[in-house]
């Protein structure tokens, strides 16, 4: 059952976004609002950050004080392919990096509507190729993401596979958005249970992201892709989640394609509840689950503490 803290956070979020349920909010305005709101979230202690660029892609290293510098989580943030970035996700990725003992790479891939598909996938594959080119072995890389970033993680691996690149050791996906046709029943059955997702934005953002491509294109909606050859997957989702049906179907189709997949369905929680790890025991439990999965598929060899990020 959700804790009192979860109920309070859900209620507070519902109150904050209630004014947004009228006329549509311009995406630039929503980006600014999210960045301001993200100021209350900050990484755990003993985690350093460093901004840099991969070509023209802004990115941030997130490095625990005690970490294996050979091992990297390449993390793609959520936000409907329209909002989000290092500021909104630094805290969550820092908590995951600290739990796993990995360094994390958090890129700011191009967003729609300014840069529709395939821009985000191109940026994601460029970041993965950069890790390989700079000496990281594929078995030392985990690809991960939440919501739209989870869908992008799958698209990145599928495109990398088709380009002949080696697969990472594993991938964990937090409530991934993998069906931009928005055709699964749980979207409509659970939409009123979500304080932050609603249909108007989902339809608009799907259309903005797909651009000139159909929303069932396999790299736009990886639910419809051939998943053969992907590495082991961990999928976490809540049973009151609008994305529940597509994530459940994704797990089944991955297993049918011969992919090792672990679907974990949590009870009665918000979309990407992990963000509230500082306040929710369920969020910390889900991050612990990620830590166990990562250790199983790419055991970390913790090395020296660091004084400065590298």
Please confirm, yes or no, whether 147 is among the known catalytic residues.
yes
How many whole angstroms separate alpha carbon 156 and alpha carbon 56?
18
Q: What is the sign of the dihedral through the CA atoms of 273, 236, 148 and 268? A: negative
The torsion angles phi and psi of 58, rounded to 5 degrees, stand at -65, 145
Place of tokens 């090792």: 260
Instruction: Determine whether 271 is an active site residue.
Output: yes
Strand partners, 76: 145
Task: Find the catalytic residue in 6, 48, 108, 147.
Answer: 147
Question: DSSP 3-state assignment of 39?
Answer: helix
Under 8 Å between Cβ of 51 and 59: yes
Parallel, antiparallel, or unpaired for β 47-54 and 57-64? antiparallel
| Nearest alpha carbon to residue 138 among 70, 204, 185, 88 | 70
User: Which member of 271, 274, 282, 297 is catalytic?
Assistant: 271
Among the options 108, 201, 241, 289, which is catalytic?
241
Instruction: State CA 197 to chain mean position distance.
Output: 15
Question: How far apart (Å, rounded) are the C-alpha atoms in residues 225 and 119?
Answer: 18
Q: How many degrees, rounded to 5, is the angle at CA 283 between CA 17 and CA 224?
A: 75
Burial of 90 (0-12, 13-18, 19+ CB in 10 A): buried
CB 166 within 8 A of CB 138: yes
Tokens read off for 81: 């392919």
List the catalytic residues: 147, 241, 271
């Amino acid at each position: 059952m959700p804790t009192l803290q979860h109920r309070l956070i859900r209620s507070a979020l519902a109150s904050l976004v209630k004014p947004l349920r009228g006329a549509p909010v311009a995406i630039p305005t929503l980006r600014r609002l999210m960045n301001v709101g993200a100021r209350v979230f900050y990484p755990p202690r003993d985690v350093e950050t460093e901004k840099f660029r991969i070509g023209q892609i802004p990115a941030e290293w997130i490095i625990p004080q005690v970490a294996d510098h050979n091992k990297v989580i390449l993390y793609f943030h959520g936000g409907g392919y329209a909002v989000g970035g290092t500021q909104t996700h630094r805290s969550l990725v820092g908590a995951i990096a600290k739990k796993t003992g990995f360094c994390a790479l958090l890129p700011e891939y191009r967003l729609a509507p300014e840069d529709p598909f395939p821009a985000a996938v191109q940026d994601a594959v460029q970041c993965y190729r950069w890790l390989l080119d700079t000496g990281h072995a594929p078995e030392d890389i985990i690809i991960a993401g939440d919501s739209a970033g989870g869908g992008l993680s799958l698209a990145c691996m599928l495109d990398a596979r088709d380009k002949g690149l080696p697969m990472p050791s594993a991938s964990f996906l937090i409530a991934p958005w993998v069906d931009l046709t928005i055709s699964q029943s749980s979207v409509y059955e659970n939409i009123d249970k979500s304080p932050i997702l609603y249909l108007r934005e989902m339809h608009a953002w799907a259309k903005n992201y797909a651009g000139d491509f159909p929303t069932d294109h396999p790299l736009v909606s990886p639910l419809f892709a051939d998943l053969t050859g992907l590495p082991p997957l961990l999928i976490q989702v809540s049973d009151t989640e609008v994305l529940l049906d597509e994530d459940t179907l994704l797990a089944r189709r991955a297993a049918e394609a011969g992919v090792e997949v672990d679907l974990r369905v949590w009870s009665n929680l918000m979309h990407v509840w992990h963000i509230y790890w500082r306040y929710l025991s369920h969020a910390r439990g889900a991050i612990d689950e990620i830590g166990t999965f990562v250790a199983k598929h790419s055991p970390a060899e913790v090395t020296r503490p660091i004084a400065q990020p590298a």
